[in-house]
Chain A
Amino acid sequence: MQNKVFSVKNIAKSFGSEKEHNYIEVIRDISMDIDEKEFIVILGNSGCGKSTFLKILGGIDSATKGSMELYGKNIGRQIPRNALKHFGFVFQSNNLLPWRTAEGNLRFNLNTMKLKGPEWEKRIDEMLDIVGLLDYKKVYPHELSGGMKQRVGIARALVHDPDILILDQPLGALDAITRKMLSYEILNIWKKTQKTIIMVTNNVDEAILLANRIFVFSNKPAVITHEIRVDIPVEQRNHEIANNQRFNELREQINEIVRATL
């Protein structure tokens, strides 16, 4: 885990202007270096600007200050169009296109990125298989359950073979049981695909289960208050993780931090 894939330097984001008295500083100053195959989790209260931060990383929005580096190359304050294929974005509420089948939703990414050919067609099946929905290829989103929709959303973010997977509170809109199931599934997907993952959540247990590094964001304007390395080996991260001593120590520690930032 030494290869630096992506780094952000002093990213800041604000809306409005002081002149019109609607100036809001959402992100003040965030820097982080992300290595290959890392699983980064960002923890923060709701409305602290973590989604805004992810939108900058996903190329949806641009930063007002700072810069980003992809494979050591400076790409400025916004991810350029030709670099977007390195990123896969999973939205909070699945955000599937209702007029496309599961397969069609994956094809949307390939079409817009002009990735054609049998190898990509095969990849659609592979990705649906990874999330366990190969049999639902031809099914429209309104016929799928909430958890299944989100799994299609994850498959879609993976289909163009990005290097970095960005998940914006992917489990936020799900019920407790589905949420737990899907968090183990994300862990499996990470092991299988060996992608670098950046995920936002407000659930401490989820963060410790998945992350190898956790960044805690302060309230608006967001800065990184803590960086915690989760040193639980991957083999021990399973359904019994709640019995793990280290897990409980970390949980205690992080809960305290989170309480303090409230």
Chain B
Amino acid sequence: MAQSTPVRRTPKKERDPKRIIAPLVVLAVLYIGLEIFLRVFNVAAYVMPTPTHIIQATISSFHIILPDFLFTLKIICVGFCIAIPAGILLAALFSQFDILVKAMQPVVIWLVITPMITLIPLMTLWLGTDPNLRVIIVIIQATPIICLNTLNGFTHVEREKLELARSVGASKLQTFVSIIFMNALPQVFTGIKLGCIFSTIGAVSADFVSRGQGLGDRIIKFTKYSNFEESYGCIILIALIGITLYTVVEMIEKRIVLWKK
């Protein structure tokens, strides 16, 4: 029988410049459009300052914002980094027992839906007012969503794949590691990406309730003293933290999940 040779595949791995340029163009259009719109219609600064003013004011007050920025960044990153293994391990544990999946899934969904800032007044009562305790809020906000998606991946494996494992005599651990876990990886990453969003929301909302420190607290202070430009600047900074985390996770996903078309 003739040996087949690979057909030249199109090198799709190459970076498409359009993917980077197109969003930048949108950003530029948005920036210039807003700038013109706000100036022409004379919109008051407390409704929406112009982008240029936002950037100028944010840079000049950055020394005030920086400690809060670093604090929030720390809370989000630490919480997020604990939530990832916690979510995956919990899902791995639940998936081992059918009854546990059935019992825990509604509980996990319930936890995903409940906004965890509602716990802050109570938590202050239990644990004191240390701002670093906001990490706990981030963890309990992000872990359930990671767990839910991962669990969904762990419990939806094609029967044929499990039959393959049985036909070669794979142990329970081998089956879990090289079939169930690998099969769920795309869903695990979906969970982690949602975890980025939930962590950011958790951290900032914790600032709003507990006050004293963090970008959320800074926004309230700036707004109170009519520094609207800086308020918007802080909002953009929070968004940047979230987007950066999301992008990092997505880049890792593209490196690992090579089989997704």
State whether A59 touches B169 (Cβ < 8 A): yes
Q: A112-B174, A132-B4, A136-B6 are in contact. Are A93 and B168 (CB under 8 A)?
A: no
Size range of the chain B interface in the assembly? 20 to 34
A98 touches B174 (CB 8 A): no
Residue B241 is within 8 A (CB to CB) of chain A in the complex: no
Interface size class of A (residues with CB under 8 A): 35 or more
Q: Which of B189-220 contact A (CB under 8 A)?
A: none
Q: Which residue of A lies closest to B258 (CB)?
A: A140
Residues of chain A within 8 A (CB-CB) of B178 are 97, 108, 111-112
Q: Is the CB of B163 within 8 A of A135?
A: no
Residue A142 lies at the interface, judged by CB distance under 8 Å to chain B:
yes
Residues of B within 8 A of A111 (CB): 174, 178
Contacts of A98 in B (CB 8 A): 259
Tell me whether A84 and B259 are in contact (CB under 8 A): no
Cβ-defined contact, A188 with B168, below 8 A: no
Task: Indicate if A60 sits at the interface (CB-CB under 8 A).
Answer: yes
A44 at interface, CB cutoff 8 A: no
Give the contacting residue for B9; candidates A93, A129, A143, A188; CB below 8 A: A143
Per-position 1/0 for B233-261, Cβ under 8 A of A: 00000000000000000000000011101
Q: Which residues of A contact B168 (CB under 8 A)?
A: 84, 108-109, 112-113, 160
Pick from B166, B171, B185, B258: contact of A60, CB under 8 Å = B166
The 8 A CB mask of B66-110 against A (1 = contact, 0 = none) is 000000000000000000000000000000000000000000000
Is A58 on the interface with B (CB-CB < 8 A)? yes
The yes or no answer to B164 lying at the interface (CB within 8 A) is yes
Q: How far is the CA of A97 from the CA of B5 in the complex (A)?
A: 22
Check A141/B167 contact, CB under 8 A, given A91-B160, A112-B178, A136-B6.
Answer: no
**CB-based nearest A residue for B5:** A135
CB distance from A10 to the nearest CB of B (A): 23
Q: Which residues of B contact A (CB under 8 A)?
A: 1-6, 9, 160-161, 163-171, 174, 178-179, 182-183, 185, 257-259, 261
Q: What are 24 sample pairs from A and B whose C-beta atoms fall under 8 A apart?
A: A58-B167, A60-B163, A60-B166, A84-B168, A84-B169, A85-B169, A87-B167, A91-B160, A91-B164, A93-B160, A95-B160, A97-B182, A98-B259, A99-B183, A99-B185, A99-B258, A112-B168, A112-B170, A132-B2, A135-B3, A140-B259, A142-B261, A148-B4, A188-B1
* A positions within 8 Å CB-CB of B: 55, 58-60, 81-82, 84-85, 87, 89, 91, 93, 95, 97-99, 108-109, 111-113, 129, 132-136, 139-143, 148, 160, 185, 188
Further 10 A-B residue pairs, CB within 8 A, beyond A109-B168, A111-B178, A142-B259: A60-B166, A60-B167, A84-B169, A85-B169, A91-B164, A97-B164, A99-B258, A136-B6, A139-B6, A160-B168
